[in-house]
Chains A and B, each alone.
Chain A
Amino acid sequence: MSDSPAQIAEQLVIPSHWQRFRDSHLLHSFKKDKVAIVSFALFVLYVLAALSAPLIAPYDPYDPAMIDIMDSEIPPQWQEKADERFILGTDSQGRDLLSTMLYGTRISLLIGVCAVMLQCLIGVLIGLTAGYFGGRIDSFLMRLADIQLSFSTMMVAIVVLAVFQAAFGAELYADLAIFMLILVIGIAEWPQYARTVRATVLSEKHKEYVDAARVMGFKSRRIMWTHILPNTLSPLLVISTVQVANAIISEASLSFLGLGMPVSQP
């Protein structure tokens, strides 16, 4: 140890993010896991298809000039009476199903991811506060979560969306549908996150590293967000994957009930 502190500090130059990622355990285990690679490839495929929908879709389902009601309900290519213009056939409006699916994926993914981000934001905020401060704040917030949880997502969504549609008219609703869906699905399911976060915070906050941070004089907010939250991330990731799928299914069932995206949008 003959080096001066300055020299040692020089040796400790922090590697760039890319270098760190390249050497990381994450990438290494990803490369070894074939299931993960296939799943990731599929996921990328969907995202690419959604993003490049305007480029690869044969028709634009938003363009009324391209839609002919006379083309409605044509079966897919491999069945009789098919039309070679429409690979997967058309729907009751005469829109090409392949194009509708490609454009629809965009909306589904958008709603899924955004609604989950909203759920996550509200849930983490409430769960972290409830778990860290405990006592009355905890009781109050968790009863709030229980109330929210006692209404099923579907019911909340149907009531809110139906009232909104009745109050402001179908036209305004058509414009705001996507935001309303994100908002409703996001708000209806936050207790899932809040409860998970609270549970992990409760087990983490008694660990000595939290005490050590308190002894250092760090403020509660800093301890909550930079010390405890990173340690609650793994269960959060697990429920997030399920919740994205849930949100997409909720959106689909609401559309089925006539309360989701308007008919004019895929």
Chain B
Amino acid sequence: MSTFELLGMGFQNAFALSALLTIVIGLMLGVIAGALPGVSFVNAMAMALPFTYSMAPTQAMLFLGAIYVGGVFGGSISAIIINVPGTPASLPACWDGYPMTQRGEVRRALAVAILASAIGGLTSALVLSFAAAPFAVFALRFSQPEFFAATVLGLISVIAISKDRPIVSLLSLFLGILIGTVGVDPQYGVARFTFGAPAMQSGINFVVVMIGLFAISEVIDLIATNRDLRPSKAASARGQVSLRDFWEVRGAIARGSGIGSILGVIPGAGATPGAVIAYGIEKQVSRDGDKFGTGIMAGLAAPEAAKNATTGSAMVPLLTLGIPGSAATAIMLAAMMLHGVNPGPLLFLNDPTMVYTIFAAMILANILMIFAGIGVAQFFSTLMKTPPAVLGAFIILLSIVGAYGVRNNIFDVYVCLFFGLVGWVMKRTGFPTAPLVLGVILGPLAERYFMTSLANYNQDWTVFFTRPISGTILSLAAVFAIWSLWPVIRAQYRSVVLLLAGRAGS
């Protein structure tokens, strides 16, 4: 049978009432879990796992897949409305989404985010359906040096993101990388920076840091400044959604979808690096690049498209090779194992109906997500009308539950509260917090890939430059770094020239 026939059969199964209902319920759960600050969709998937025991294997996969698709988008709702990212991948949505909300354009921001996410996800689902095999081959070409190079590109993007003070952002990033080294190192199993406390050996989890830095600190700020989250003016005329807006950001959505689809296929990379790199690249490419961070639609659309574009392609290595590339796909693998299904090349031969029903469901889920997203976003918009005291208490409660829920560990709650205070001080002093979180996320990844690369290539550090893919990505990162740091370099150069000229003159 041809791909189209198989996919047609898949759609038939996906449109069955029980399947459709499973997808819709999964989507709603995912969007809500994603949108609640503190509760991540990975958490929601883990909690949903026992409910899939009684389902048929295909239905279980549809349910988890829908939570995944909805959850990756959901995080942006709270990022845009209250400047608290619901999931790490929604961090970039704060940078241009929240400024739009502050201008009274919350509806417009949400509409752009939903559409960009849906198009990104749809692109990725189509890649999964039609090009799973070649993409799997492409993924296998990536070895540890390439993973390292991609992670470095993600780290460098952080400098590109910083609005005007790249040096301060770099400091914040390095601090994050340092925090990421706490705990048992992945290579030699040696405890680092634990100060003799056993609880520290589990390391500092990035989700916990993010909840503290963004959610808790926001509430502390609310209490300290007694400010009102409620917009002073109702949605302005500019806040109306128009079709022209979507046409304007078509390039950003296309680039974001492409970047996300490619990065998603690589095991280990995922929605967060995808979104950050897409934002960094869009900032360089876009006409309004220098205005990014003030509420530019392209700056919201690109990372939104990219993060949802990782959902379909992340399932390529899972289904074709049986290799889970992220926490979310690892849970899907567990669900398949519990049902006695072994993913991998044989699955396509033995049970093509299941595979193509999953493909069809992923396509369908991304279209249905537009409605689920609008529904949940409407509900969350009422949050803005809630008194700050009520909203603050609500956020604190969710944050503590969320921090505990990451690993069911009480130590994480203390870490979260600590970073809440740190985040508030940083916010007050104008020290950027986003690079720190990205350092905690990407630092340990970079370290692991670096160490494994060296072990694999005879401790030869030149492999990073001599391997073609890795070399290309690293040169791109170098260009990126120089481009973003150019204003600083030029200013330094000028002052040195002026200094010398002054000396010569005297």
- A and B: interacting chains: no
Q: Which positions in B face A, CB cutoff 8 Å?
A: none
